[in-house]
Amino acid sequence: MTFARVAGVGSYLPSNRVLNDDLVARGVDTNDEWIVARTGIKARHLAEAGQTSSDLGLIAAQRALEMAGVAAEQLDLIIVATSTPDFIFPSTACLLQGRLGNKGAVAFDVQAVCSGFVYALSIAEKFIKSGTHKRALVIGAEVFSRILDWNDRGTCVLFGDGAGAVVLEAADKPGILATALHADGAHHGILSVPGNVAGGKVTGDPFLRMDGQAVFKFAVRVLAEVAHECCEQAQVAPAEIDWLIPHQANIRIIEATARKMGLPMDKVIVTVDQHGNTSAASVPLALDAAVRDGRIRHGQKVMLEGVGGGFTWGAVLLEF
């Protein structure tokens, strides 16, 4: 039987680090105390004008390939999770394939907003387990700063830009122990960018809109449910999880999820304080940070979780 295991991780944050007080200085009607108390966010990184998701994803991908000892031409699958692609088409995955110098691999984007990376990783695992593909590059890359209304203090303080990547390889033992994905389109209205481009003009509203309290309640419920679902599938008790990496949207959502899982916060990887919410990049950014600083070690069980617009949600339980 073929399994899929993580062979390398990487990430990249734009160099422009913006503190809460810097937002105040730019004219956002907010303050550090409010943002920290409600969200836990102290800083986020913002892309330069013209810096795209594929620019950020390229560096994250190169770092993951280097750790895995895999050359770009050896990849047979490239999946990019993003809601802020460089273009309407071609996909950011194809752009990255070209920039990495790979030819012939399957390449496509996944659009599941903040669950995108967990969706993409689960899809890559299914390709590898089926036996058709052997080496996948899975990237979450976002420039959410482009779709924020900087006059809406209820949303613009929450997000940041960045990218994270994983190389997934075929192996004779797991690897990925369980995956669970879900969506419920009835809730599309509580978090969306309800606009598009038609006839050369923006139609609708091109900015992120959110009902914060509805999102909060929904996220806390489904993150706990899907983590338990993955544990049951893999026959792993929550207490056996070494590290929980939930989507990094808000420290209060993260703490509530850990509490519902019966896990202490010292088993939870938290980067939201330094990165803000980077949507599909948040989970691989946190994974890379904890692997590179030595907290996550080989053989440990790690639960990755996403939840986002759609609504979509999902989890991946893996042995690193």
Active-site residue, from 94, 102, 114, 275: 114
The answer to whether residue 116 forms part of the interface with ligand ACO (CB under 6 A) is: no
User: Active-site residue 228, yes or no?
Assistant: no
Range 73-102, binding ligand ACO (CB under 6 A): none
* Stretch of 8-16, 29-37, 91-99, 161-169 lying at the interface with ligand ACO (CB under 6 A): 29-37
Q: What is the DSSP letter of 75?
A: -
DSSP 199: T
In the complex with ligand ACO, the residue whose CB is nearer, 61 or 114, is: 114
For the question of residue 114 being annotated catalytic, the response is: yes
List 20, 102, 250, 277, catalytic entry: 277
Of the candidates 191, 245, 258, 268, which one interacts with ligand ACO according to CB under 6 A?
191
What order do you get walking across the sheet with 135-143 strand by strand? Answer: 3-12, 161-171, 135-143, 77-81, 106-110
In whole angstroms, how far apart are CA 95 and each of 9, 102, 119, 152, 183?
A: 20, 10, 20, 32, 28
**Quick one: how far is CA 233 from the chain centroid?**
22
Residue 219 CA to its chain's centroid (Å): 15
CB closer to ligand ACO out of 91 and 248:
248
Nearest CA among 109, 84, 83 for reference residue 96: 109
Closest CA to 279 of 155, 98, 125, 124: 155
277 binds ligand ACO (CB under 6 A): yes
Q: How far is the CB of 155 from ligand ACO (least distance, A)?
A: 7
Residue 129, interface with ligand ACO (CB under 6 A)?
A: no
Q: Name the catalytic one among 156, 247, 250, 275.
A: 247
Which one, 42 or 292, has the nearer CB to ligand ACO?
A: 42
d(CA 189, CA 148): 17
Burial (0-12, 13-18, 19+ Cβ within 10 Å), 121:
buried
Interaction between residue 111 and ligand ACO (CB under 6 A): no
234-266 b/e with 16+ CB inside 10 Å = b? bebebeebbbbbbbbbbbebbbbbbebbebeee
Q: Are 320 and 6 in contact (CB under 8 A)?
A: yes
Closer by beta carbon to ligand ACO, 102 or else 279: 279
- Interaction of residue 117 with ligand ACO, rule CB under 6 A: no
Residue from 46, 75, 165, 215 in contact with ligand ACO (CB under 6 A): 215
Q: Is the peptide bond prior to 238 cis by the omega test (within 30 degrees of 0)?
A: no
Told to check if 256 binds ligand ACO by CB under 6 A, we report no
**Which amino acid, residue 78?**
I
Interface with ligand ACO, residue 12, by CB under 6 A = no
CA distance 241 to 267: 8
In the complex, least distance from residue 308 CB atom to ligand ACO, rounded to whole angstroms: 5
Beta bridge partners of 11: 164
Decide: is 296 part of the binding site for ligand ACO (CB under 6 A). no
The residue (of 37 and 71) whose beta carbon lies closer to ligand ACO is 37
CB of 49 to ligand ACO, least distance (A): 23
- Of residues 223-252, those binding ligand ACO (CB under 6 A): 247, 249-250
Q: Is residue 295 a contact residue for ligand ACO (CB under 6 A)?
A: no
Residue 157 CB burial class (10 angstroms; 0-12, 13-18, ≥19): buried
Task: Decide: is 314 part of the binding site for ligand ACO (CB under 6 A).
Answer: no
- Complex with ligand ACO: residue 195 or 212, whichever CB lies closer: 212
Catalytic residues: 114, 247, 277
User: Contact positions toward ligand ACO, by CB under 6 A?
Assistant: 30, 34-35, 38-39, 114, 153-154, 157-158, 191, 210, 212-213, 215-216, 219, 247, 249-250, 277, 307-308
